Amino acid sequence: MRKKILFFLFILCLFPFPVFAEDSARSSIIMDLDSGRILYQKNAHEKRLIASITKIMTAIVTLENANLEKKVKVGEEVLKMYGTSIYISVGEKMKIKDLLYGLLLRSGNDAAVTLATAVAKTEEDFVALMNEKAQEIGMKNTIFSNPHGLDEETKNYSTAYDMALLSRYAYQNETYRKIVGTKKYTVSTGEKTYLWYNRNKLLSTYPSCTGGKNGYTPSAGKTLVTTASKNNLNLTIVTLKDGNPYDNHEALYESFFNRFQNYTVVDKNNFRMDKNFYPGDLYLKDSFIYPLTEEEANRIKTTVHIDSKTKEEKVGEIKISLDNQIIGSLNIYNKEKKTKKEENFFFQKIKQLFRR
């Protein structure tokens, strides 16, 4: 039977989601971009039309499947587009990278269908890629029917929670972050010169905002996805059918930046274990950092499990919980066993050389 040692560091408690009375959205969520923790939600799993925040997925599918420096020729598919556009002309050539700026800064519906056909040859095949990516990310209540978000003929449905998952995924892409964080962009195709200003007003009115995407149709109402960073805390907010999205986002950000901060719950550089419990030289490969309120930080519980009999480099695990709910774990390793493993590998290589 394996010998396990429990080592308690300190205790923590998890509080329920706070009520934010001034939230003007029908559905909303605040998610920490680094840990994925949900700090606040309201009707977050309610399916709704999402309008042009659809284009976040259009951008990600393009970024992951296309050469951004490739020039594409605008086809007749743009002629059927209406609403917000960048007004590219049939036969005009533009780099995919520049079309992405037009897609995300100006919400160009013509840019969306041009990118879709450039990446997947048909809009239908591109939409299939969008839905595949949604399933991969975990967007279980999302269905895309087009790459632009217009909803008079085909409709895109999602939830605040699913769109927060998408925002968090997209935020990991450096090019996406650069584009949505751009306030002004100029491009010339030789046929025309374009000057685009970002339609995400929060980027200009709220200093902590780092990017995002807005949307609107009469059926969906105003939708907005944004990201913001302050004091090393990185958050995303999604609001659907919101009558006052920009003021709402700023108020939500300020409220939660004031309440939460990132705590290093377990620091890999300061991890120590009493030699009476385990004589080996133990270490961690990662630290555990998590957004907490000051009250929560005083009630964290960390439990260490050690297997003294194992011959593997991994000898145990740290489990971190909030009010008896596991929020993360870290593997514990033994440096001595790592060294022996490396030595054995080295000698095996030497033996193989002599056998030749």
Per-residue pLDDT of 118-131, as tens digits, reads 999 999 999 999 99
342: pLDDT strictly greater than 60: no
Q: Is residue 1 part of a domain?
A: no
- Beta bridge partners of residue 104, listed in sequence order: none
Same domain for 197 and 71, yes or no, is: yes
Q: Which residues are catalytic?
A: 52, 55, 107
Nearest to residue 102, comparing CAs of 184, 169, 173? 184
Counting the structural domains of the chain, the total is 2
The band of 275, judged by pLDDT with boundaries at 50, 70 and 90, is: confident
Per-residue pLDDT of 1-44, as tens digits, reads 333 333 323 323 344 455 565 899 999 999 999 999 999 999 99
Q: Is residue 315 part of a domain?
A: yes
The pLDDT assigned to 1 comes to 37
Q: How many percent of the chain have pLDDT more than 90?
A: 83
Same domain for 164 and 268, yes or no, is: no
Tell me which residue range forms the domain holding 347. Answer: 7-13+263-355
The band of 278, judged by pLDDT with boundaries at 50, 70 and 90, is: confident
Same domain for 278 and 239, yes or no, is: no
Same domain for 62 and 146, yes or no, is: yes
Per-residue pLDDT of 318-328, as tens digits, reads 999 999 899 99
238: pLDDT strictly greater than 60: yes
Give the residue from 243, 276, 291 where a domain finishes: 243
The pLDDT assigned to 180 comes to 98
Same domain for 46 and 147, yes or no, is: yes
Nearest to residue 6, comparing CAs of 330, 331, 319? 319
- 74, 57 Cβ separation under 8 angstroms: no
- 297, 9 Cβ separation under 8 angstroms: no
343: pLDDT strictly greater than 60: no
Same domain for 294 and 209, yes or no, is: no
Q: How many CB atoms lie within 10 A of CB 323?
A: 15
CATH code assigned at 332: 2.30.140
Report, as an integer, the average pLDDT of 197-202.
98
Q: Is residue 18 part of a domain?
A: no
Same domain for 187 and 77, yes or no, is: yes
The pLDDT assigned to 37 comes to 98
CATH code assigned at 58: 3.40.710.10
In the block, tokens 């095949």 appear at 125
The pLDDT assigned to 272 comes to 85
Q: Is residue 282 part of a domain?
A: yes
Say how far apart CA 284 and CA 236 lie, in whole Å. Answer: 29
The pLDDT assigned to 335 comes to 86
Dihedral of CA atoms 78, 80, 86, 89 in degrees, nearest 10, equals 40
Can you give the C-alpha Rg of the chain in angstroms? 25
Report, as an integer, the average pLDDT of 247-268.
97
The band of 352, judged by pLDDT with boundaries at 50, 70 and 90, is: low
Q: Is residue 193 part of a domain?
A: yes
